[in-house]
């Protein structure tokens, strides 16, 4: 009788502790899921900022195209060397948002998602959770054909760089008369060249990080 009573007490204690552990696991799972939702919302916000930069770039290209005749007629071709700084700055800002989003995505993939699966398996050990958030892990056509799809994935970014190149070419196709002081021309060309090279390198880094 004493053994039976002791067994019942032990079973009751086990169930009590198991219930407390399950509650703690559920609470931890809720926290992890809230973290996931918060990070996803931040990534979406960064994507919206990047889209706004792209829209601004297209607007800038339109404005430049509209005022180009005025620039040439009034011998203001130096503006063609100023616009690339504007375009390339937008490109770098867009890349900054992209890299921040990739960093957050990497955290989700390497920390949050495995943690979610682990907690789910503790709550229900018989369940299969490998499919949970599997789309977040970068598997599929984008990762498989990353190099081939790089121009398509970064199409908006390359358009910005192309616009900067067109501006510099326009300066030489429609040279000012008289030509401005050499140091002024050289300074703008040097800034444009360095920004362009840096933008290309950073853009490739972001593209291959997908």
Question: For each successive 10 residues of the chain (210 residues), what is the average pLDDT?
Answer: 45 45 78 90 89 86 90 89 91 87 86 87 79 67 59 76 90 82 85 92 78
pLDDT attached to residue 5 = 47
CA 89, CA 160: separation in Å to the nearest integer?
10
Cis geometry, peptide bond prior to residue 186 (ω within 30 degrees of 0): no
pLDDT attached to residue 132 = 78
pLDDT attached to residue 138 = 57
> How crowded is residue 78: how many other Cβ atoms within 10 Å of its Cβ?
15
Angle between helices 2-73 and 155-173 (to 10 degrees): 20
CA 199, CA 90: separation in Å to the nearest integer?
10
pLDDT attached to residue 85 = 93
Residue whose entry in the numeric block shows the structure tokens 């601004």 = 56
pTM of the model: 0.71
CB 100 within 8 A of CB 170: no
Residue whose entry in the numeric block shows the structure tokens 């009788």 = 1
pLDDT attached to residue 145 = 56
Q: Where are the beta strands (DSSP E) in the chain?
A: none
Structure tokens at 187: 């300074």
Angle between helices 113-123 and 2-73 (to 10 degrees): 160
């Amino acid at each position: 009788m004493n053994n039976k009573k002791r067994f019942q007490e032990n079973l009751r204690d086990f169930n009590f502790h198991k219930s407390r552990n399950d509650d703690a696991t559920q609470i931890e799972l809720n926290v992890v899921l809230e973290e996931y939702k918060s990070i996803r919302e931040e990534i979406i916000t960064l994507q919206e900022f990047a889209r706004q930069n792209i829209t601004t770039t297209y607007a800038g290209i339109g404005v430049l195209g509209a005022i180009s005749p005025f620039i040439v007629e009034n011998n203001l071709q130096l503006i063609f060397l100023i616009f690339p700084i504007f375009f390339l700055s937008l490109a770098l800002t867009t890349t900054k948002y992209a890299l921040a989003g990739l960093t957050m995505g990497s955290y989700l993939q390497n920390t949050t998602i495995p943690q979610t699966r682990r907690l789910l398996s503790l709550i229900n050990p018989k369940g299969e959770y490998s499919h949970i958030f599997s789309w977040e892990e970068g598997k599929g056509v984008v990762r498989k054909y990353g190099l081939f799809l790089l121009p398509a994935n970064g199409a908006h970014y390359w358009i910005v760089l192309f616009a900067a190149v067109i501006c510099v070419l326009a300066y030489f196709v429609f040279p000012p008369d008289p030509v401005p002081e050499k140091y002024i021309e050289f300074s703008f060309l040097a800034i444009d060249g360095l920004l362009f090279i840096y933008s290309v390198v950073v853009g490739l880094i972001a593209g291959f990080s997908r």
